[in-house]
A and B are shown apart, each in its own frame.
Chain A
Amino acid sequence: MSTSVASLLEGKRVVICAGSGGVGKTTTSAAIAAGMAARGKKVAVLTIDPAKRLADSLGLPELGNTERQVAPELFEEAGVDAGGGELWAMMLDAKATFDEVVREHAPDPETRDRILENRIYQQLSAALAGSQEYMAMEKLYEIWSDDRYDLLVLDTPPSRNALDFLDAPKRLMQFIEGRALQVFLRPTGFATKIIGGGTSMAFSVLRKITGVDLLEDLAEFFQAFQGMVGGFRERATKVNELLAADETSFLVVCGPQGEPISEAVYFHQKLEAAEMPFGGVIVNKVHYDVAAAQDENDTDVEEGLTEALGPDLAAKVASNHSDFQALAKRDRRNVVRLAAEMQTSCVIQVPYLDEDVHDLAGLMEINRYLFASGAEERVALAAER
């Protein structure tokens, strides 16, 4: 399994890091962006994470809906010569992006205001199926179109289901084009009935369980989207084309435990089915079993340690070692399964480091593994850490 992020990203202009929550996606995205910036590229990393983790890790006090440059001095302080490379970061504000999209695609100012002022839109658009994920794609596309960066790294939303964002453009289109909307939009449709105080049976039953105000707002909300269908469809098609383009690469990020590995395998299947360009998989927080990797037999370490450490400490060290070896065995088994089921050799394992990553220097430490030439170098690094 010899591979490096640098070789995976050759000729790529968009990297999408995908995976379930809590596997280190944000840190990995930031590390990749920093690593490519350190190699002289102009890189922007986009995250939708509301928890500001990326800002934390880049020493930025806050991130807004536009890109901010990470101070070049930070690279110098971390002992990196970026050689003209730049690192930019932004935290996506889904609601602000949705507003921008509405402003851009609304056919006239009246429709625009009707949507922006609708209370369902204001308070609940974040809960619209796929809207967060779609807005991440939308922003990615917008920045990509500006053509100001050599590389864009997208940290996908921390949804329970890592696949949501793949379906997001489609789901949002289905919503906008959907029959619910159509029913509302017919001249004699439901919206007219609601607003005009219609009296059909279905309506009165529905009103009984929802209340009339809510129905009115909903009708208006759906109706207001009418004029946006065309522009929206066109845009969603382009976003999809960018995702599937040769210059795009999906990296699946996961942890070494059974469940994250299974999710990564499933996610890879979905990527393949959607004909999206899969680059490789990054397994974070791996317990390396260095001795086993070096093909040394697991002899009785306790005996061998007694002379140097005394019997008590030797026993403790041996028992601790066997605990970690059990975790390392599990991790190795899981990674082998991962590679086999994905039928890929592009598996990059980052060890469970002793200290947390909270600054650029920490990201560069991770990069020693991400950008190492191959598995052998990574094992050697892990053995001496």
Chain B
Amino acid sequence: MKDLLDKRLVFVTGKGGVGKSTIALALGMAAADAGKRAIVCEVASQEGLSRVFHRNKVGFHEVKLDNNLWGISIDPDEAMREYVLLQLKVKAMRDLLFRSRIFNYLAAATPGLRELVTIGKIWELAQPNRKVRGSTRYDIVVVDAPATGHGVGFLQTPRTFANVARVGPIASQAEALDAFITDSKRTGVAIVALPEEMPVNETAMLEGEITGKVGASVDRIFMNALYPERFSSDEADTLESAADNLDGPERAAALDALREHRRANCQGEQLERLEEMTNAPVTTLPFLFEPELGAEAVRTLASGIAA
């Protein structure tokens, strides 16, 4: 895992519902355990971090969650404000702008601007010499990025703006952001997949788009929630023939075992497909038989990731 955790910035993406947020947090924990100062960023105010850590809303603040581990939920409006504060040193000018209706309407209506300032804030967090007053220096920033489809557009936003704006401060800043995202020494992407046919197809497609269209480096694919192979084929045969003579809970238990066996087999096939269809190294993570995933369960995944 050294490669991924040695980057300054890691985007975690994948199809909806595959466990991106959990893996992003687990990566942050793994980095923190390795002695790095890590911050995990949410970008869609989902507040998953606050749920996992049973705390109040994280919000647009860098909140310390654990030893070496911080979290932030990036709100585009706040990010926009902060951006202007950094750009305009003269208070009178800032006030003029914030009071200006034009600025407020433009800020709300310009397509893609919210994504751009969100990435701008992520970039700012990843800087070794941050300009925000009293700020913490992080070794690694892990982003719980938007899902497939939106994810590629999100990562492309800086280049799109650089193209549209051509010259001027936004253009040069967008270029700097794009250069950062596409610099494989500093920025990495992890894709999260599930061992099912369509998520595997999407992961392969997403890897192609991120390396091709965006030009960023996909360093790792996580195959999440793999069932353990609990029963051998021989055992399954035994169960198959025994199930007919069982009834009640015993029969239900035997059928559960057979289903687990079939699922694990199917998942194994999907894992093979994923490895064939993608280029980045694949790390497998176990399905956790926990009704709800809390901090401890994520920690289990984190130790699996670090190993």
Asked whether A50 lies within 8 Å of B198 as measured between CB atoms, the reply is no
Asked whether A355 lies within 8 Å of B262 as measured between CB atoms, the reply is yes
Query: Can you give 13 contacting A-B residue pairs, CB < 8 Å?
Result: A20-B16, A49-B149, A51-B15, A56-B198, A124-B164, A201-B96, A208-B169, A291-B252, A304-B249, A305-B253, A321-B253, A325-B256, A330-B292
Check B238 for interface membership: any CB of A closer than 8 A.
yes
Check A264 for interface membership: any CB of B closer than 8 A.
no
Check A273 for interface membership: any CB of B closer than 8 A.
no
Interchain CA distance A27-B198 in the complex, whole Å:
10
Asked whether A354 lies within 8 Å of B259 as measured between CB atoms, the reply is yes
Asked whether A127 lies within 8 Å of B153 as measured between CB atoms, the reply is yes
Please name all residues of chain B whose beta carbon is closer than 8 Å to the beta carbon of A325 when the two chains form the complex. 256
Closest CB-CB distance, A246 to chain B, in whole Å?
Answer: 31
Please name all residues of chain B whose beta carbon is closer than 8 Å to the beta carbon of A214 when the two chains form the complex. 161, 164-166, 168, 170-171
Q: 1/0 contact trace for A307-339 toward B, CB 8 Å? A: 011000100111011011111011000000000
Check A143 for interface membership: any CB of B closer than 8 A.
no
Interchain CA distance A320-B259 in the complex, whole Å:
10
Known: A123-B160, A158-B147. A22 touches B170 (CB 8 A): no
Check B167 for interface membership: any CB of A closer than 8 A.
yes
Choice from A50, A124, A208 contacting B112 with Cβ under 8 Å: A124
Please name all residues of chain B whose beta carbon is closer than 8 Å to the beta carbon of A161 when the two chains form the complex. 44
Asked whether A209 lies within 8 Å of B235 as measured between CB atoms, the reply is no
The interface stretch among A61-69, A73-81, A177-185, A367-375 is A177-185
Please name all residues of chain B whose beta carbon is closer than 8 Å to the beta carbon of A212 when the two chains form the complex. 167-168
Residue of B at shortest CB range from A27?
B198
Known: A213-B167, A330-B292. A320 touches B230 (CB 8 A): yes
Asked whether A298 lies within 8 Å of B148 as measured between CB atoms, the reply is no
Interchain CA distance A305-B257 in the complex, whole Å:
12
Interchain CA distance A317-B160 in the complex, whole Å:
55
Asked whether A119 lies within 8 Å of B292 as measured between CB atoms, the reply is no
Check A195 for interface membership: any CB of B closer than 8 A.
no
Check A242 for interface membership: any CB of B closer than 8 A.
no
Asked whether A301 lies within 8 Å of B102 as measured between CB atoms, the reply is no
Residue of B at shortest CB range from A20?
B16
Please name all residues of chain B whose beta carbon is closer than 8 Å to the beta carbon of A298 when the two chains form the complex. 249
Interface Cβ pair total, 8 Å cutoff: 233
Q: 1/0 contact trace for A184-226 toward B, CB 8 Å? A: 0000001000000000011101111111111001100010000
Check B277 for interface membership: any CB of A closer than 8 A.
no
Interchain CA distance A22-B203 in the complex, whole Å:
13
Interchain CA distance A51-B23 in the complex, whole Å:
22
Choice from B103, B110, B248, B257 contacting A321 with Cβ under 8 Å: B257
Please name all residues of chain A whose beta carbon is closer than 8 Å to the beta carbon of B160 when the two chains form the complex. 123-124
Interchain CA distance A105-B97 in the complex, whole Å:
34
Name B's A-contacting residues (CB within 8 A). 15-18, 44, 46, 83-84, 87-88, 93, 96-97, 100-103, 105-106, 108-112, 115, 146-150, 153, 157, 160-161, 163-171, 196-198, 201-202, 205, 230-231, 235, 238-239, 242, 245-246, 248-250, 252-257, 259-260, 262-263, 266, 270, 289, 291-292
Asked whether A222 lies within 8 Å of B109 as measured between CB atoms, the reply is yes
Choice from B205, B248, B252 contacting A51 with Cβ under 8 Å: B205
Check A257 for interface membership: any CB of B closer than 8 A.
yes
Asked whether A183 lies within 8 Å of B101 as measured between CB atoms, the reply is yes
Known: A178-B109, A305-B253, A318-B253. A356 touches B17 (CB 8 A): no
Please name all residues of chain A whose beta carbon is closer than 8 Å to the beta carbon of B15 when the two chains form the complex. 21-22, 51
Interchain CA distance A209-B3 in the complex, whole Å:
36
Asked whether B168 lies within 8 Å of A211 as measured between CB atoms, the reply is yes
Residue of A at shortest CB range from B14?
A22
Name A's B-contacting residues (CB within 8 A). 20-23, 26-27, 49-53, 56-57, 119-120, 123-129, 131, 158-161, 175, 178-181, 183, 190, 201-203, 205-214, 217-218, 222, 255, 257-258, 260, 290-291, 296-299, 301, 304-305, 308-309, 313, 316-318, 320-321, 323-327, 329-330, 354-358, 383, 385
Interchain CA distance A358-B270 in the complex, whole Å:
13
Please name all residues of chain A whose beta carbon is closer than 8 Å to the beta carbon of B157 when the two chains form the complex. 127
Residue of A at shortest CB range from B93?
A205
Please name all residues of chain B whose beta carbon is closer than 8 Å to the beta carbon of A180 when the two chains form the complex. 102, 105-106, 108-109
Asked whether B263 lies within 8 Å of A354 as measured between CB atoms, the reply is yes
Asked whether A129 lies within 8 Å of B111 as measured between CB atoms, the reply is yes
Residue of A at shortest CB range from B198?
A53
Known: A123-B164, A160-B146, A202-B100. A175 touches B109 (CB 8 A): yes
Residue of B at shortest CB range from A25?
B16
Known: A125-B111, A324-B256. 15 other contacts (CB 8 A): A27-B198, A50-B149, A127-B157, A158-B16, A160-B16, A180-B109, A202-B96, A202-B100, A213-B167, A304-B250, A305-B254, A320-B230, A327-B289, A329-B291, A354-B259
Known: A22-B16, A330-B292. A202 touches B263 (CB 8 A): no
Interchain CA distance A321-B256 in the complex, whole Å:
6
Please name all residues of chain A whose beta carbon is closer than 8 Å to the beta carbon of B112 when the two chains form the complex. 124, 127
Interchain CA distance A260-B16 in the complex, whole Å:
11
Known: A51-B148, A119-B164, A190-B102. A355 touches B266 (CB 8 A): yes
Please name all residues of chain A whose beta carbon is closer than 8 Å to the beta carbon of B105 when the two chains form the complex. 178-180, 183
Which of A190, A211, A296, A355 counts the most B-chain CB atoms under 10 A from its CB? Answer: A211
Interface pairs A-B: 8 shortest CB-CB:
A211-B168, A22-B17, A21-B16, A180-B105, A22-B16, A127-B112, A321-B253, A330-B291
